[in-house]
């Protein structure tokens, strides 16, 4: 953090005609001692303030603290029902969160999921959080230059019509198979169906690596993609593994929003909600965002415990109301006309021995427009990637391939259909190993 000293000359004059704030609403007083954690997702947007009126300012309610040393802080805005909020540096709640007053949120029309940067003071005695004194930037843009923004739900959604290329060379074969069998487009809603120990984590890491290399956010080409990994109810060691991998392949620009399986279900679901709202704010600014969600099954399980019961119970003790928040998350993926896109690739667990997990898969089957099936039997024989090339595929794939490429893909599927079920994936992998790129492989089909 960069330490700065606030200057009295920068402070606006405060007259008695200004709004009178209650004592309980002052930063530094009783509000931080009993400040409730934000619990529910909302748009967070309020009355719009014209751009010309938006000047960096110190919240007039904390002017008595203006001479205190301040530090520059950043965090993702989480808004409580009362109107105030917290800036979360790492999506999950922690003692490093920064309190932001309701007046600042209203003044700058801040929304849930905005990334806010500004000057904050340290907590006083008996206070839990830092207090934000000055808002300087929103989503990386100077506060004076932030204009009126569209709302995500009001933007026009269209079919994905541009492919996200995952393959980066001869290896890994995982991304090459996906590009051929189940292509992913910008704005895709993809479902990775996997049994335990079928190579799901390796597949996720290969996908992240391929996107980061082909669409680098830093010093990239024409197309840049912001990567996010959302891990719900995950093992702590796996969270560390994904975080380090994301840090390496994206040069620290990718985000990982994670909750461990031993955390309360309310905390697990809140991490997912805040990560989704963050992605929406980026898409509103015209960016292409890819979320890898692991997993939809554990997210639905967490909502089943976190939400009040409806009195109805489905197979395996699952409450039907718990399906809607998870479906809302998955359904947020879309390509925006003449703007950015939000791509969500979610994993779904099967063959776990749990009737609840089977129910969740059945409810989500068909909601995506791309499905990738992993087979544990192949993984046990050490065939990687253990992708079922017959059951995997993408709807409207003709929008992602060129006419000539599509014709050769159809030829490939007809050729694989002549091979037995147990040998299809192995046959494809053997042929791919003999070529350097997918283009070379498809070209070889003409002479096969």
Tell me whether residue 386 is annotated as binding. no
CA proximity to 333, closest of 396, 280, 395: 280
Q: Copy the structure tokens of residue 210.
A: 């391929």
Q: Do the annotations mark residue 113 as ligand-binding?
A: no
Is the previous residue joined to 53 through a cis bond, with omega within 30 degrees of 0?
no
Q: Is 57 annotated as a binding residue?
A: no
The string of DSSP letters for 332-371 reads T-EEETTS-EEEEEEEEE-SSS-HHHHHHHHHHTTTSSEE
197 is in an annotated binding site: yes
Task: Name which of 214, 208, 248, 209 is nearest 228 in CA terms.
Answer: 208
Cα 98 to Cα 81: distance, rounded to the nearest angstrom: 17
Rg of the chain in Å (alpha carbons): 24
Q: Is 218 annotated as a binding residue?
A: no
Query: Is 190 annotated to bind ligand?
Result: yes
Six-digit token pair at 48?
A: 């719009």
186 appears as a binding residue in the annotation:
yes
Neighbours of 235 (CB within 10 A): 13
Name the phi and psi angles at 303, rounded to 5.
Answer: -65, -35
Question: Binding residue per annotation — 188?
Answer: yes
332 is in an annotated binding site: no
Q: Count the neighbouring beta carbons within 10 Å of the beta carbon of residue 190.
A: 28
Count Cβ atoms below 10 Å from residue 410 Cβ, excluding itself: 12
202 is in an annotated binding site: yes
- Enumerate the H helices of 158-231 as residue ranges: 173-181, 200-214
For the purposes of burial, counting CB atoms within 10 Å of the CB of 168, is it exposed (0-12), middle (13-18) or buried (19 or more)? middle
Q: Residues within the annotated binding site?
A: 185-190, 197-202, 235
Q: Residues within the annotated binding site for ATP?
A: 185-190, 197-202, 235
């Amino acid at each position: 953090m960069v330490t700065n000293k606030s200057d009295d000359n920068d402070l606006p004059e405060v007259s008695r005609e200004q709004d009178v704030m209650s004592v309980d609403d002052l930063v530094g007083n009783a509000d931080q001692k009993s400040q409730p954690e934000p619990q529910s997702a909302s748009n967070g947007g309020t009355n719009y303030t014209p751009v010309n009126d938006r000047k960096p300012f110190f919240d007039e309610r904390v002017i008595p603290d203006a001479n205190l040393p301040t530090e520059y802080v950043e965090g993702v805005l989480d808004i409580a029902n009362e109107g105030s909020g917290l800036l979360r540096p790492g999506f999950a709640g922690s003692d490093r969160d920064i309190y932001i007053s309701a007046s600042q949120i209203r003044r700058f029309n801040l929304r849930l999921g905005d990334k806010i940067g500004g000057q904050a003071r340290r907590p006083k005695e008996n206070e839990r959080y830092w207090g934000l004194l000055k808002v300087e930037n929103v989503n990386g843009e100077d506060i004076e230059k932030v204009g009126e923004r569209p709302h995500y739900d009001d933007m026009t959604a269209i079919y994905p019509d541009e492919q996200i290329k995952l393959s980066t060379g001869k290896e890994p074969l995982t991304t090459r198979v996906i590009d051929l069998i189940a292509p992913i487009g910008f704005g895709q809603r993809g479902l990775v169906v996997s049994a335990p120990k079928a190579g799901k984590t390796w597949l996720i890491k290969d996908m992240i690596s391929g996107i980061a290399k082909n669409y680098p956010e830093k010093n990239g080409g024409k197309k840049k993609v912001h990567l996010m990994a959302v891990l719900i109810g995950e093992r702590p060691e796996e969270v560390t593994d994904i975080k380090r991998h994301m840090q390496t392949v994206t040069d620290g620009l990718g985000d990982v929003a994670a909750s461990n399986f031993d955390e309360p279900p309310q905390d697990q679901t809140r991490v997912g909600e805040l990560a989704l709202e963050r992605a929406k704010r980026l898409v509103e600014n015209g960016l292409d965002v890819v979320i890898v969600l692991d997993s939809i099954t554990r997210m639905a399980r967490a909502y089943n415990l976190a939400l009040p019961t409806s009195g109805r119970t489905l197979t395996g003790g699952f409450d039907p109301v718990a399906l809607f928040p998870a479906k809302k998350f998955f359904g947020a993926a879309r390509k925006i006309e003449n703007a950015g896109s939000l791509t969500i690739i979610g994993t779904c667990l099967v063959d776990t021995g749990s009737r609840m997990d089977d129910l969740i898969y059945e409810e989500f089957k068909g909601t995506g427009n791309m499905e990738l099936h992993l087979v544990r039997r192949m993984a046990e024989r050490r065939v990687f990637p253990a992708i079922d090339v017959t059951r995997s595929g993408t709807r409207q794939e003709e929008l992602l391939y060129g006419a000539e490429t599509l014709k050769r893909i159809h030829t490939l599927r007809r050729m694989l259909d002549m091979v037995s079920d147990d040998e299809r994936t192995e046959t494809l992998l053997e042929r791919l190993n003999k070529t350097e790129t997918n283009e070379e492989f498809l070209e070889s089909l003409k002479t096969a």
